[in-house]
């Protein structure tokens, strides 16, 4: 299993970026970052997106194009998860300006709790921040120790940010 954080370059300098938490500890064994470049997409990412077991974690409710009806991929069947690591506004920009993402199989996460992320304004109802998505994926894939460690780091991050 692999989790790729497709990160908007502005996120790299933000103190509220939670993606960086997933690049530490046990989660770092399966998580890597690719910086999004609109005109120069990562060649390895493009290859991975051609595989049937690679999916984009991005809510269908955020897609407003009638011609885009990508197939669904269950968390169980997905082996490579691509997460958009950005604010919701930046994530929409990444999605809308990256044709190679539009037809990628879509993976929907169904958490049993609302997001705990409270360090930014304009959060999407029902949406999770990057670290929370990684935690959900790790749990679903049976990586409970890595998920628990990341969850502890995430909670500490939220406390320090208040």
Encode pLDDT of 37-87 as tens digits. 999 999 999 999 999 999 999 886 666 565 556 689 999 999 999 999 998
pTM over 0.75: yes
If one counts the domains in the chain, the total is 1
User: What pLDDT shows up at residue 126?
Assistant: 56
Computed over every residue of the chain, the mean pLDDT equals 89
Quote the domain boundaries for residue 10.
Answer: 2-161
What are the pLDDT digits (tens) for 115-144?
877 765 555 555 799 999 999 999 999 999
Please tell me the distance from the alpha carbon of residue 44 to that of residue 152, in angstroms, as a whole number. Answer: 31
């Amino acid at each position: 299993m692999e989790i790729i954080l497709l990160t908007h370059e502005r996120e790299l300098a933000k103190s509220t970026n939670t993606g960086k938490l997933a690049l530490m500890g046990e989660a770092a064994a399966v998580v890597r970052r690719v910086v999004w470049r609109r005109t120069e997409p990562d060649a390895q990412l493009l290859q991975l997106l051609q595989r049937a077991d690679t999916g984009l974690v991005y809510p269908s409710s955020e897609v407003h194009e009638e011609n885009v009806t990508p197939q669904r991929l269950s968390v169980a069947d997905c082996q490579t998860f691509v997460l958009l690591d950005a604010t919701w506004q930046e994530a929409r920009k990444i999605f809308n300006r990256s044709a190679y993402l539009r037809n990628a199989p879509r993976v929907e996460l169904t958490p049993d709790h609302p997001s705990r992320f409270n360090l930014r304004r304009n959060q999407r109802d029902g949406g999770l921040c990057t670290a929370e998505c990684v935690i959900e994926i790790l749990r679903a894939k049976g990586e409970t120790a890595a998920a628990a460690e990341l969850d502890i780091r995430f909670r500490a991050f939220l406390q320090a940010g208040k």
